[in-house]
Structure 1
Amino acid sequence: MKMMLGDEYDSYIESFNDKRLYGLRVNNLKISTEDFLKICPFKLEPVPWIENGFYYSEDDKPAKHPYYFAGLYYIQEPSAMTPANVLPIDEGDVVFDMCAAPGGKSTELAAKLNKTGLLITNDISNSRAKALLKNVEVFGVPNLCVLNEDPVGIASRFSGFFDKVLIDAPCSGEGMFRKDNKLIKAWEKNGPEFYSQIQRNIILAGADMLKPGGKLLYSTCTFSKLEDEDSVIHLLTNRPDMHLIDIKPYEGFSHGFDTDEGYHLEKAVRIFPHKMPGEGHFVALFEKDGEDYTSSKRPVSGKTKLPDELKEFMDSTTFEYDPAYINIRDTRVFLTSPYMAEERGLRIIRNGLLLGELKKNRFEPSQAFAMALTNDQFNNCLDLSVSDDRVIRYLKGETIDIDDFNVKSGWTLVCVDGYPLGWGKNANGQLKNKYLAGWRWM
């Protein structure tokens, strides 16, 4: 770090005496930033380079608030918001988040897609991939596939498939030492030499999965040149059809450290904690040469006849869907994306939006389906104020008394201040709780 920073080294070391910063990012898939600020109960300060990012006080507990359970925001360290913010996403894109858990970047990519195209989000760890699934479902993402794969191992399956690829690579974590000093021991066990080999394989695989004209974002939360600039050079040397492109500048961003080889590493961005109100990060944006004229959309054959009980339930919603992409497996009903590739041979945690389950002569909607709806898309809603103690009781899984509301019998979409939380079933003013057990308020 002394060699890298020179005269700035003392300021860098001094930054370790500063308190860590806490951040949240508004879910623009569900609510505009402007509308969120009108109802936000926390004291927030804007993250200057992230349009929907905010600092919050350590005294606030946003993970213990009903709006968190409604998926209105994601808790994320401010610098870590940068990669998904920098990668330009167009509606209709097919996007791959290669090393995605726990889902902070995936949720922002999904918000940018705005329920169009497809987000394939992946993690090599099964337990982390399941946590990733929960976060994208809380955020209300319908156009998704969650994989549990080694990204290098599946590169040939998705050759030239994606419009955009994000690689937030496994790294030695030097930029997070202030936030979590336990990472120092992990660094001593596996440092930059260990991770750089993993990164070099991953970044080449990401480039191979990209369409001509597509863009790839590579990031780490470490300072090591071996893991940052040298990984960029490895890609540019081995994939000559890839080139670095500029990232929109912001005051406090540092350039990548250039070399004499003419790789234009100054186009990469470094975030240092003594220059920016956040932890450490490295971000590089690439574009693949050429243009792509192929359609990612797969055709469907014939019309799909839905079971009567499923059709009856879907008719009680104004949720837009194409029956041709309804996929029924055993008793579970999924709405899959028209952009999804052939799935055989892949370890899939979830392909598409889980709509629910077919039981004997009835259909039971899923928690994920509730989160993908808006309150005006279902014909029977219970809208509780955030100050109503029944909100917390509902989130804890309790039966609640709702005879003071004019709610029809049967399936009920439970909302807080107009934003869905989950399902209940109303019978004579008593709401039988259908909130997913694994998501309950603890």
Structure 2
Amino acid sequence: MTKQLPTLFRDKMIDLLGVEEFEQFLASYDEARLFGIRVNTAKISKEEFLAKSPFTLTKVPWAADGYYYEEGERPGKHPYYHAGLYYIQEPSAMAPVELLAAEPGERVLDLCAAPGGKSTQIAAKLQGEGVLVVNDIHSDRVRALVKNLELSGVRNAVVLNEKPERMLTVFQGYFDKILIDAPCSGEGMFRKEEDMMQQWERHSVQEFAHMQRELLGQAAEMLAPGGRIVYSTCTFSPEENEAQIAEFLDRHADFHVVPVDQFGAGHPDWLRAPWCEEGAYSPRALAEVAGTARLWPHRLKGEGHYVAVLQRVGASAGAVSAEELKERVASAGDADVGVKKRGGREALRGKGRVEAAPHAVSLEPLLAFAGELLRSEPFAAARLVCYGEHAYASPAGLPELHGLKVVRPGWYIGSLHRGRFEPSHALAMGLRMREAKRALSLASSDERALRYLKGETLEVAESEIIRDLEVTKAAKGYCLVCIEEHPIGWGKWHDGMLKNEYPPGWRWN
């Protein structure tokens, strides 16, 4: 492995680290790879997961919900993975969101979000409260982003596929927290992914530095006073790390670095020729850059990363004023849930708002489904919107998104077609078993759990269908299928058979 490192990269790291530390750094490339999972606390507590985990786990020191697992174990092949109970994530990659410190109720942006590992980590911090906007400019990567959000059961996320500069007019000063996991030269991933070395040789550091500079400036415009930006890369290059932060500080006097002390320090001394322009940065910027953090593979159990925490001065944005909401939030008509309901269709009354785009189909079938199968909690405080045949629960307090490329304007509920409502897989994954009036809970060891994930029809006795007999006496119809009370999809039960509604593209091959 070490012999394959690009010569220019080796020479640069020797210059930056010095010969002695470079030898320690180089030796890390011959060490075994490290593997991590992060417990999805939006679905299960750490204590509950650890009590049932089939894996050998060791705590990741810097991640509240992160654990190393042993090489040879296959967490991606366990039913718990398909229930969204954890996310497989490189341990160092868990650090930026921990430093972002998102809290329930905040408005958070993940600016370069695909494939979604950090987005799902932020979502777990928000616990379903507030607004999470996730964006990626690459349309081919957004599909994986959407799937990971659905798998994790995220309810309050909006997915965009947009250029950041086009987001400025909509989100000017809107967010409390912004994560920029910036596109970079990827030097920190050489040990994990050897093909990154070939990409490094094809793309210049300066090319990435230009993109990073723009992203930082655009994020600053979308951040509210008192807000926080976390900037991260998986590269060692000072041009993409310390130089970006120093330049940003000199352009934005209302920001300062929040020092990070649990990792290696940033290196203002590396902002010199031939890597950076000497004397280009103010004494303040150089001093603050020392408070940024470097994660080194020869100093900790993880790959190479860089992280900077940038705090904007001013009072925290806090709650949105009534005047601001009036300007920002899309009009939803004259009254909450203005659709008349008949016979038990009260599940959504007064819970958020319902509206339909022009020429959209009626929402009546959705309301009927909710009244039959769901309790009221899932859509509380959301704004139900319908685009064509597709219905979403859009987070409250979201600005108008006109003019932006919106992939998902909220939690995808399902489709309405010819007077019928078909619930989405995203709805199933975002529910809790207690929120469904009919459910089936299988043990992970039950062979039917694997058969369900393969798309097979199951034999299920009526007595196994969990339901509140005072509310829902019938077992027939849609049923929320769970593994140990954690949803994995829909089924339709009738006369001892459960028709499988698990999406073909998700099935266990």
Same fold (TM over 0.5): yes
Q: Which secondary structure state, in structure 1, belongs to the residue aligned with residue 379 of structure 2?
A: coil
Question: For residues 344-381 of structure 1, what are the alpha-carbon distances to aligned partners after superposition, in whole Å with 9 as ceiling and x for unaligned?
Answer: 11111101111112233432211001011111110111
Note if contact 1:94-1:339 (Cα within 8 Å) is conserved in structure 2. no
Query: Which whole-Å CA distance do the structure 2 matches of 1:388 and 1:35 have between them?
Result: 19
Query: Which whole-Å CA distance do the structure 2 matches of 1:194 and 1:365 have between them?
Result: 44
Gaps of 5+ in 2: 1-12, 270-281, 340-362, 466-474
Query: Which whole-Å CA distance do the structure 2 matches of 1:290 and 1:156 have between them?
Result: 21
Which amino acid letter does the alignment assign opposite residue 336 of structure 1?
S
Change (3 A) 1:425 1:378: same
1:191 offset after TM fit, Å?
3.0
Q: Which secondary structure state, in structure 2, belongs to the residue aligned with residue 203 of structure 1?
A: helix
Instruction: Report the counterpart of residue 374 of structure 2 in structure 1.
Output: 317
Query: After superposition, where does 1:12-411 map in structure 2 within 5 Å?
Result: 12-247=25-260, 249-250=261-262, 253-259=263-269, 261-263=283-285, 264-291=288-315, 292=317, 294-295=320-321, 297=325, 298=329, 300-303=332-335, 304-306=337-339, 307-315=363-371, 316-318=373-375, 319-322=377-380, 325-403=383-461, 405-407=463-465, 408-411=475-478
Instruction: Report the counterpart of residue 430 of structure 1 in structure 2.
Output: 497
Query: Which whole-Å CA distance do the structure 1 matches of 2:46 and 2:267 have between them?
Result: 35
Note if contact 1:370-1:413 (Cα within 8 Å) is conserved in structure 2. yes
Query: Which whole-Å CA distance do the structure 2 matches of 1:323 and 1:230 have between them?
Result: 43
Change (3 A) 1:244 1:66: same
Note if contact 1:383-1:416 (Cα within 8 Å) is conserved in structure 2. yes
Query: Which whole-Å CA distance do the structure 1 matches of 2:477 and 2:338 have between them?
Result: 25
1:46 offset after TM fit, Å?
1.0
Change (3 A) 1:313 1:206: same
Instruction: Report the counterpart of residue 480 of structure 2 in structure 1.
Output: 413
Note if contact 1:269-1:283 (Cα within 8 Å) is conserved in structure 2. yes
Equivalent pairs counted in the alignment come to 439
1:218 offset after TM fit, Å?
0.1
Query: Which whole-Å CA distance do the structure 1 matches of 2:221 and 2:127 have between them?
Result: 26
Note if contact 2:175-2:222 (Cα within 8 Å) is conserved in structure 1. yes
Q: Which secondary structure state, in structure 2, belongs to the residue aligned with residue 267 of structure 1?
A: coil
Question: For residues 374-413 of structure 1, what are the alpha-carbon distances to aligned partners after superposition, in whole Å with 9 as ceiling and x for unaligned?
Answer: 1111011110110111111111111111127432110000
Note if contact 2:381-2:396 (Cα within 8 Å) is conserved in structure 1. no
Note if contact 1:246-1:285 (Cα within 8 Å) is conserved in structure 2. yes
Identity of aligned residues (%): 42
Query: Which whole-Å CA distance do the structure 2 matches of 1:58 and 1:155 have between them?
Result: 44
Which amino acid letter does the alignment assign opposite residue 99 of structure 2?
V
Query: Which whole-Å CA distance do the structure 1 matches of 2:437 and 2:296 have between them?
Result: 50
Which amino acid letter does the alignment assign opposite residue 17 of structure 2?
L
Query: Which whole-Å CA distance do the structure 2 matches of 1:414 and 1:317 have between them?
Result: 14
Note if contact 1:401-1:429 (Cα within 8 Å) is conserved in structure 2. yes
Q: Which secondary structure state, in structure 1, belongs to the residue aligned with residue 96 of structure 2?
A: helix
- The range that moved more, 266-275 or 154-163, is 154-163
- The range that moved more, 404-413 or 19-28, is 404-413
Query: Which whole-Å CA distance do the structure 2 matches of 1:323 and 1:103 have between them?
Result: 25
Change (3 A) 1:361 1:300: closer
1:320 offset after TM fit, Å?
3.5
Task: Please give the root-mean-square deviation of Cα atoms over the aligned residues, in Å.
Answer: 1.6
Change (3 A) 1:324 1:300: farther
1:4 aligns with 2:16: yes
Note if contact 1:124-1:150 (Cα within 8 Å) is conserved in structure 2. yes
Question: For residues 87-124 of structure 1, what are the alpha-carbon distances to aligned partners after superposition, in whole Å with 9 as ceiling and x for unaligned?
Answer: 01121111000000000100010111111111000111
Note if contact 2:295-2:305 (Cα within 8 Å) is conserved in structure 1. yes
Note if contact 1:24-1:55 (Cα within 8 Å) is conserved in structure 2. yes
Query: Which whole-Å CA distance do the structure 2 matches of 1:268 and 1:69 have between them?
Result: 37
Query: Which whole-Å CA distance do the structure 2 matches of 1:215 and 1:86 have between them?
Result: 10
- The range that moved more, 33-42 or 147-156, is 147-156
Note if contact 1:133-1:146 (Cα within 8 Å) is conserved in structure 2. yes
1:67 offset after TM fit, Å?
0.6
Query: Which whole-Å CA distance do the structure 1 matches of 2:423 and 2:176 have between them?
Result: 32
Query: Which whole-Å CA distance do the structure 1 matches of 2:71 and 2:380 have between them?
Result: 45
- The range that moved more, 151-160 or 215-224, is 151-160
Q: Which secondary structure state, in structure 1, belongs to the residue aligned with residue 450 of structure 2?
A: helix
Query: Which whole-Å CA distance do the structure 1 matches of 2:186 and 2:313 have between them?
Result: 31
1:309 offset after TM fit, Å?
2.7
1:156 offset after TM fit, Å?
3.4
Q: Which secondary structure state, in structure 2, belongs to the residue aligned with residue 154 of structure 1?
A: helix
1:45 offset after TM fit, Å?
1.1
Question: For residues 313-336 of structure 1, what are the alpha-carbon distances to aligned partners after superposition, in whole Å with 9 as ceiling and x for unaligned?
Answer: 212322342487111222221111
Query: Which whole-Å CA distance do the structure 1 matches of 2:66 and 2:230 have between them?
Result: 19
Q: Which secondary structure state, in structure 1, belongs to the residue aligned with residue 386 of structure 2?
A: strand
